[in-house]
Amino acid sequence: MGDRARRVAKGGLSPGRSQRPCGQPFTLEDSSFPVGRGSRPAGMDLAKAPGTGFVPVSGRAKYGPLRDSTQQAVPGVLFTSAGSRGVHNRRPVIQVGRRAVLRVPTDGPHYTGVGQSQTGPSQGDTHRPALAGQTVVLHAPVPPGLTPGGTPPDPGPTVAERGPLPQPRVLQAGSLETIGDALRATGVPEDALELTVAGRGRATTSGYEARWGIFLQWCRSQGLNTSAITVENALSFLAHLFNNKGVAAATLSVYVAAISAFLPSIGSRTLGSDPRVTLLLRGARRQRPPQRPVVPQWDLQLVLDSLQGPPYEPPDQASFATWSRKCAFLVSLCSGARGGELAGLGFTDRVHVQEDGAVLRPAPGFVPKVVSAANINRVIHLEPFRPQALTRARRAAVSLLCPVRALTTFLDKSRRIRSCDRLFVSLAPGHQGQTIRAPTLAAWMWKVITDAYVAKGLPVPHVRAHSVRALATSLAELGGASLEDICQAATWAGPNTFAKHYRLGVHRGGYTGITRRVLNTAIHRARRRR
């Protein structure tokens, strides 16, 4: 490199021109060395544009790009022109053009550029370019309608094309009344809504809707905003139920499930998965642990005695409503079936009564609580009850409790008013002979039990219709029925449900049915009391 190039590399482009006025652009005419072929310093190309200075476009000097240390304001910067590449003296030559303006500060700290060492020269080192500082501001005066590359800019989508910004989904809880409303609010389409609602049982859906209504009523009484329900609101509601209403811990779990069915997420998680709700339910179980009754809450023998006399006997004097309740009670007691399964029993070609017993099958289209092929096609076997170890008078009395006899009489009485293909039909005026549901059968059971206490002048205990199922399976186990037979009769998948909620114990043996064992055990217990 020549002497002039060395002087240029040390910081000055031309020592003879360093006293020009500040702000005057540095042009090629001001340079003391030619720009012709073979006369430029090695590793540096200079390009010329009218009315501008020159800048190095390729190569590096000893300490980096060149600059004029006495000229801090550069009026123009040359950029590569599109499609203007060439080769000169076996080196690429790039034509440049004026595209933007740089404003270079004269004061302030020096920041090293990309690839520069953190231990490089300070601000006072004129061999380092101040253009690499972070305080460089680029202003690009581009003609209207063109980008710096010379192409029209992409306007992008308009506001109308973009549409409104997505807003977080807020469920208006106060307007949700049914499970269908809740699913619709979460985005379930109308053509899939009915099928989605059917994913839960009818009793479960109605129970959730009733408990959701109680929750909304409590929120309004507390002056809460039902359109922005929080976990804290749900916690206060659950504590209110536990402390003021005496609700059990298991019932609180049902309320949590009901609220979660209407509000799938409160905040960032579901209500049931919130650790605070989990701790509250755990605390409720600790303070009020679940208690399984060791003995029945009502006297079965008292009820059986009432079924052997008026108003149930004799059959020709009993009304259809009274006999229907007696038949439903005995079938439930001797089969261990759920109320929903009894309501789903069919009539035409589904009931077969013979001398050795009766066979009952569900009506076509019936959906049990636990959907499986075994439960849909389950068969209830009823055996005639003819005790032999009793006196003749006593044997005649207890034979009135035979479920096959009660079923045969019921079929004869119901033929005149039956208008559906179900075994048990409605007794309500205006709906006689029509299909009934499990709550109606539960009411029949309750009335049979409470009427027995009222007839004896005794206080009526707290009675639940589901206790008939518990008492039936427990007596069958006490009478020697195997656990497998009990689970088969009650449609339980395994013995855990029976062992946990009803009575513990395992007995092995072949299937002999539970009808005789239930009634024999009840009769013999009554004899021992006397």
* Domains present along the chain, CATH in parentheses: 1-111+130-143 (no CATH), 173-287 (1.10.150.130), 300-529 (1.10.443.10)
Alpha helices in 186-335 (DSSP H): 190-197, 202-221, 231-244, 249-262, 275-287, 300-307, 320-335
Q: Using CB atoms within 10 Å of the CB of residue 432, give its burial: 0 to 12 exposed, 13 to 18 middle, 19+ buried.
A: middle
> What is the C-alpha separation between 135 and 85, in angstroms, rounded?
31
CA-wise closest residue to 470 among 500, 507, 508, 512: 500
**Host H or E run for residue 137:** strand 137-139
* Mean pLDDT of the region 363-370: 83
Query: Which is more confident, 130 or 420?
Result: 420
**Cβ(404)–Cβ(383) under 8 Å?**
yes
**What is the bridge-based pairing of β-strands 357-360 and 351-354?**
antiparallel
**Host H or E run for residue 357:** strand 357-360
Range with the poorest average pLDDT among 256-265, 310-319, 365-374: 365-374
**Cβ(413)–Cβ(333) under 8 Å?**
no
Query: Which is more confident, 157 or 347?
Result: 347
* Mean pLDDT of the region 144-149: 52
* Mean pLDDT of the region 256-271: 82
pLDDT digits (tens, 9 = 90+) for 83-128: 445 555 566 555 555 444 445 454 444 444 444 444 444 444 445 4
pLDDT digits (tens, 9 = 90+) for 1-42: 445 444 444 444 444 444 444 444 444 444 444 444 444 444
Q: Using CB atoms within 10 Å of the CB of residue 237, give its burial: 0 to 12 exposed, 13 to 18 middle, 19+ buried.
A: buried
Max CA pair span of the chain = 144
Residues 6+ apart with CB under 8 A from 454: 460
Q: What is the pTM of this model?
A: 0.56
The pair of structure tokens assigned to 389 is: 């170890």
The pair of structure tokens assigned to 283 is: 């605390």
**Host H or E run for residue 49:** none
What pLDDT, on the 0 to 100 scale, is given for residue 19? 46
